[in-house]
Amino acid sequence: MKILLTGFEPFGEHEKNSSELVLDFFKDHEQIQTKLLPVEYENAFKIVSDLMDQTDFNFVIHLGQAAGRSKISLERVAINVCDFPIDDNKGVRIVDEPIIKEADAAYFSTLPIRELEKELSTSGVPCEISNTAGAYICNEIMYRSLHKSFNQKTSVGFIHLPLMTEESSKSESSQLCLSQLVHGIELILKYLLKL
């Protein structure tokens, strides 16, 4: 059993990315390969694609940060569109463009998101299924990874993490500190490793 777990570098107005900090906690696990990705259109996926070519992962799980979310969000769907609200970290901004021309309009996560949601909720970790991963880099990487995974026996999904309480200002609603985010992802990985 082998899992690829990715996180993203900081982007936009944020100095930290909770997904990068969470990723750090899993780097010495035998069955988990971690990789930090740049917030760069196409370049982030090239890294993932190479890793997926090198290893037959059972699961590819991408983590990212979404300000404004108050719970760990298990993304249900990736849409075939880039409509970036801000530039990526290389200054690229794609608007109203398909990610892959003539491919399906959307792909559903192939992780068991309802079971994972129950697992976290029964352990008291705030968690929800989200029906939109946005139209920025996180959605792009989820869409491209799902598209690629259909040639392999790999399940793919995306999990958005809220800003950590340590990072969020009073106007934002995050209730989760770093240790709770790590605990939530740990529960998800343990559940998947038992399958």
Would you call 45 exposed, middle or buried from its count of C-beta atoms within 10 A (0-12, 13-18, 19+)? Answer: buried
Are 121 and 128 spatial neighbours (Cβ–Cβ below 8 Å)? no
Cα–Cα dist 162/75, whole Å: 13
> Does 45 interact with ligand PCA (rule: CB under 6 A)?
no
**For ligand PCA, which is the closer residue by CB, 125 or 135?**
135
Read off the tokens for 78: 């990736």
**Contact between 11 and ligand PCA per CB under 6 A:** yes
Give the contact letters, 166-185, x = binds to ligand PCA (CB under 6 A), - = no.
--------------------
Between the alpha carbon of residue 67 and those of residues 60, 85, 186, the distances in Å are 23, 13, 21
Q: From CA 33, how far away is CA 145, in angstroms rounded?
A: 16
177 is catalytic: no
Choose, from 20, 82, 117, 138, the residue flagged as catalytic: 138
Figure out which of the listed residues 6, 8, 45, 157 binds ligand PCA, where binding follows CB under 6 A.
8
Q: CA-CA-CA-CA torsion for 172, 159, 100, 53, nearest 10 degrees?
A: 140
x/- string (CB under 6 A) for ligand PCA, residues 119-158?
Answer: ---------------x-xxx--------------------
| Complex with ligand PCA: residue 87 or 186, whichever CB lies closer | 87
| Shortest distance, position 150 Cβ to ligand PCA, whole Å | 22
**Residues annotated as catalytic (active site), given as ranges:** 75, 138
